[in-house]
Amino acid sequence: MKHKIVSLLCGLLFLSACAPSQNGENPNIIRKEGDYAIVDDFNPSVNRSYHGTYLPIHQALEVGSRLVELSKQHFDVSEYSLAEGKIITLSRLAALVRRESATNPIGLNPPSGSLFPSGTGEDILDAVLVSDVLELNFMQKRGDELSLAGISIAIVLNPSQSVGLGRVNVSAERMYEYGSDMGRKLESYLRSLAGVGDVPIYITLYSLASVDAILPGGMIGEGLFLSRSGQITSLNEYWLLIPSNASNELDPLTHSVFLQLKSRLQTLLPEAIGVFAKARVVNQRIDTMIIEVNSNVKTYTELLALTQIVLNEVNDFEERRMDIKIHIKNLNSTLVLIEKKANDDEFTIIYLN
């Protein structure tokens, strides 16, 4: 396989390559092919501070990126522009993440004093299951103005609940069941708001990992609601570490190839080289792998050798058809970025020195 080596400037242009907008709003917009064009008058969501407080950044980015990617099944990138937070105001979000009560019927968390069956044999008093609600808006030009033409929602669920001095994890089945009920409830509420009407509403359920986890969680459900009808169906997405028992059980070949890569790199320099990977699993198949190589290179030639060995070894992942991202670091400073999409023929390599 050939490898495309580009300068930092070209690499940055690759990350936001110029692609003509096909949705009629702004033909001069710069964006990567396959991405939504952001509306010209983009404003950050009024809920950004709440999101930043209650979602660690690695979780927030995973929720948002998966919501955008899954939305492409229903809202074509060539027909819609992307905005956020136009319907769920801060006061509405505050009401949604509070408990359901006589004074707050739209609350998505169980009523105060209620017992929630965890699905693992233990009931949880005053469970707080819905942590956040993220909103994307899909806009289309109607006349001279952009109008709301679709909404995507991620209901962020927290399966790790406090019980006494310890914690209990809600079972995946129970989390999906509760999230599905809240998805239908939220869709009904959104329909009652001005400006929503009968626009398509796509609702996803995202289950967080524990607060101290090094991996994000994953999407566990989705549903497209058209003309006030629709249903939530299950999704099976999660992250795992490589190498691990879980990666060996799921995909022995990828697990073995990664161990080969790790062994090869650890013999290159006198100092130890740390190599680990995390992978997103979608429907029991790895669709994205992120590899981090931590080294202690002393010369540019060593860096070139390290990069070339990495490229030679990762070629063995080619038959797996997954997105691959590689960060080569030196004492926590990133020196090289390497990326290849599943359907690309070449790696893009960016030297950051």
pLDDT range class, residue 210, cuts 50, 70, 90? low
Mean pLDDT of the residues in the chain: 87
Residue 3 pairs in a beta bridge with: 347
Residues 231 and 124 in one domain: yes
Residue 201 pairs in a beta bridge with: 151, 225
Q: What's the rounded Cα separation, in Å, for the pair 144 and 25?
A: 10
Residues 193 and 62 in one domain: yes
Q: What's the rounded Cα separation, in Å, for the pair 243 and 257?
A: 10
Residue range(s) defining the domain that contains residue 248: 240-351
| Residue 40: predicted pLDDT | 87
**Chosen domain end from 235, 257, 273:** 235
The answer, yes or no, to whether the previous bond of 243 is cis (omega within 30 of 0) is yes
| Residue 21: predicted pLDDT | 44
Question: When comparing pLDDT for 135 and 11, which is higher?
Answer: 135
- Tracing tokens 């991405």 back to the chain, one arrives at 35
Residue 323 pairs in a beta bridge with: 288
Q: What's the rounded Cα separation, in Å, for the pair 341 and 172?
A: 30
What integer is the mean pLDDT of 256-273?
A: 88
Residue 107 confidence (pLDDT) above 90: yes
**Chosen domain end from 235, 260, 295:** 235
Domain CATH for 272: 3.30.300.190
Poorest-pLDDT segment among 98-107, 165-174, 244-253, 312-321: 312-321
Residue 122 confidence (pLDDT) above 60: yes
**Chosen domain end from 235, 259, 289:** 235
Q: What is the pLDDT of residues 78-96, one digit of tens each?
A: 999 999 999 999 999 999 9
